[in-house]
């Protein structure tokens, strides 16, 4: 198959409005981090768009520009922030409350910029996240009314802030588990379901639909259903608007998608993988409700099976016991601690163990992913690349892929795919790692 022609990428001129649904730990850490970086008061560590380079051509050519110099990304100074939340706290209060950043060093220094980000009222229904009790919600009960109100918010924000382009990212709480059903088969059914106030149409789906109706790329940082059902997926493809999801790949799953491919690469067996962690932020509190945890569990459990392909390797992975637990433990706040016990087998079936103890910071890991996603989905929009952005799988626990395809979870295959997509966008050669040419004249 020949490579399709590279697209023409429109320049990133004018202001980019970034709309975060949810102004909690992740969103406030994202905003603060970008504002600190803009002022030279912090470094955007963890962000590929800000720190990463990309090799072009042969290894002998010595061409490895910064990604930000290679592709025309929006400048951080052109970003304008908008948000919705169930609580009225501005980004200053939200960041202080989240307890992720040091107040003196990383909040007070940019307090003016943070105070300016005041959330719009949320489209919210308690049944989708019952551990939340905020009252900064739209006084509308019908789904149609909520959808229209979100669309109005988007357009008002665009006008008030003179934005050239917008992107939306779901950084709100994980909603209860909903399987794609009758309401999601096509747009007609989805429209009817909205009018019927169908329970399987959650607020997140309304934000996503509103974004697509207004021509705004949508990214889903949480594991709940959004654009990963036929109706909205097909609509995004038809309107040529980028969509991506779902569930930021940060702590334990990030480790899993590095370690499991290593086991498989070496043909080492696996008999069990027990993952547990403690987390004390608001996210942990929402996930303490079983219906919300189920959404997260589904997202976390699928990874091993997709990577290890037990049907192809029954002797190695045919009988794996996989367990994932999240325990709400307030004293730790955002500083999650994860433990993994991995029982593996080697030559002749001899057992071995790997233990991983990751003392991470949830939002410190998630914020750079959110930044990259908004910048890359804006880039995709300007390159005319609508629909599912599989090249952004790198950022997600449950990457959205074309129907019938299995997702690629291996972090380094995902990175290769992302960088090859950037090379293709800019008309550079793909890097295949074949490298025969280095040995031709030896």
Ligand X SMILES: NC(=O)c1ccc[n+]([C@@H]2O[C@H](COP(=O)([O-])OP(=O)(O)OC[C@H]3O[C@@H](n4cnc5c(N)ncnc54)[C@H](O)[C@@H]3O)[C@@H](O)[C@H]2O)c1
| Residues at the site binding ligand X, with contacts judged by CB under 6 A | 21-27, 84-87, 98, 122-124, 129, 132, 134, 171-174, 203, 221-222, 247-248, 250-251, 281-283, 286, 362-363, 365-366
Taking the complex as a whole, how short is the minimal distance between the CB of residue 212 and ligand X, in angstroms? Answer: 17
Taking the complex as a whole, how short is the minimal distance between the CB of residue 286 and ligand X, in angstroms? Answer: 6
Distance CA 175, CA 195 (A): 21
At residue 377's C-alpha, the angle toward residues 67 and 234, to 5°, is 145
Taking the complex as a whole, how short is the minimal distance between the CB of residue 299 and ligand X, in angstroms? Answer: 8
Taking the complex as a whole, how short is the minimal distance between the CB of residue 266 and ligand X, in angstroms? Answer: 28
Largest separation between any pair of C-alpha atoms in the chain = 74
Instruction: Locate 28 and state its tokens.
Output: 């406030």
User: DSSP letter at 196?
Assistant: T
- Complex with ligand X: residue 248 or 317, whichever CB lies closer: 248
User: How many CA atoms within 13 Å lie on the side-chain side of 193?
Assistant: 21
Taking the complex as a whole, how short is the minimal distance between the CB of residue 222 and ligand X, in angstroms? Answer: 3
- Complex with ligand X: residue 176 or 380, whichever CB lies closer: 176
Taking the complex as a whole, how short is the minimal distance between the CB of residue 237 and ligand X, in angstroms? Answer: 25
Residue sitting closest to ligand X (CB)? 24
Distance CA 173, CA 151 (A): 21
- Complex with ligand X: residue 263 or 304, whichever CB lies closer: 304
User: How does DSSP assign 333-395, residue by residue?
Assistant: TT--EEEEEEEEE-GGG-EEEEEEEEE--HHHHHHHHHHHHHHHHHHHHHTT--EE-GGGGGG
- Complex with ligand X: residue 39 or 130, whichever CB lies closer: 130
**Cα 424 to Cα 105, 150, 189, 418, 440, distances in angstroms:** 41, 35, 37, 10, 26
Looking only at the bridges linking them, the beta strands covering 351-359 and 337-345 are antiparallel
Taking the complex as a whole, how short is the minimal distance between the CB of residue 374 and ligand X, in angstroms? Answer: 14
Distance CA 76, CA 239 (A): 27
Taking the complex as a whole, how short is the minimal distance between the CB of residue 39 and ligand X, in angstroms? Answer: 23
Instruction: Locate 215 and state its tokens.
Output: 């021509």
- Complex with ligand X: residue 253 or 420, whichever CB lies closer: 253
- Complex with ligand X: residue 117 or 385, whichever CB lies closer: 117
Phi and psi at residue 362, in whole multiples of 5°? -55, -55
- Complex with ligand X: residue 202 or 389, whichever CB lies closer: 202
- Complex with ligand X: residue 203 or 386, whichever CB lies closer: 203
Residues in contact with 100: Cβ distance below 8 Å, sequence separation at least 6, in sequence order = 25, 28, 29, 333, 334, 361, 363, 364
């Amino acid at each position: 198959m020949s490579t399709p022609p590279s697209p023409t990428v429109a320049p990133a001129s004018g202001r980019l409005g970034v709309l975060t649904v949810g102004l909690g730990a992740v969103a406030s850490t994202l905003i603060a981090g970008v504002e600190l970086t803009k002022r030279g008061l912090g470094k955007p560590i963890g962000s590929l768009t800000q720190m990463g380079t990309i090799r072009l051509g042969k290894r002998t050519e010595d061409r490895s520009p910064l990604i930000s110099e290679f592709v025309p990304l929006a400048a951080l100074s052109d970003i304008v922030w908008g948000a919705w939340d169930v609580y009225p706290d501005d980004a200053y209060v939200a960041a202080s409350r989240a307890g992720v950043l040091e107040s003196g060093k990383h909040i007070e220094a940019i307090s003016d910029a943070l105070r300016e980000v005041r959330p719009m009222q949320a489209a919210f229904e308690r049944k989708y996240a019952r551990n939340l009790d905020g009252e900064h919600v739209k006084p509308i009960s019908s789904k149609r009314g909520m959808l229209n109100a979100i669309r109005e918010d988007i357009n008002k924000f665009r006008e008030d802030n003179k934005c050239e382009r917008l992107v939306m990212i779901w950084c709100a709480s994980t909603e209860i588990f909903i399987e794609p059903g009758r309401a999601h088969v096509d747009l007609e059914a989805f429209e009817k379901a909205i009018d019927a106030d169908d329970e399987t149409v959650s607020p997140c789906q309304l934000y996503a639909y509103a974004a697509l109706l207004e021509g705004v790329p949508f990214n889903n940082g949480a594991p709940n259903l959004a654009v990963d059902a036929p109706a909205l997926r097909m609509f995004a493809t038809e309107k040529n608007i980028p969509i991506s999801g779902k569930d930021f790949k940060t702590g334990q799953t990030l480790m899993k998608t590095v370690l499991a491919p290593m086991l498989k690469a070496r043909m080492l067996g696996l008999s069990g993988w027990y993952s547990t962690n403690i987390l004390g932020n608001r996210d942990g509190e929402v996930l303490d409700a079983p219906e919300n945890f189920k959404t997260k569990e589904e997202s976390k459990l699928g990874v091993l099976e997709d990577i290890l392909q037990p049907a192809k390797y029954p002797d190695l992975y045919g009988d794996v016991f996989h367990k994932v637990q999240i325990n709400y433990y307030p004293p730790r706040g955002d500083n999650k601690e994860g433990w993994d016990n991995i029982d593996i087998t080697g030559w002749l079936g001899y057992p071995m163990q790997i233990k991983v103890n990751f003392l991470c910071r949830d939002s410190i890991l998630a914020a750079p992913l959110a930044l990259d996603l908004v910048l890359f989905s804006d880039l995709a929009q300007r390159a005319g690349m609508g629909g599912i952005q599989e090249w952004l799988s790198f950022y997600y626990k449950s990457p959205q892929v074309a129907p019938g395809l299995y997702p690629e979870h291996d972090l380094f295959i995902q990175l290769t795919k992302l960088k090859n997509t950037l090379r293709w966008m800019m008309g550079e050669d793909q890097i295949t790692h074949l490298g025969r040419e280095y040995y031709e004249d030896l």
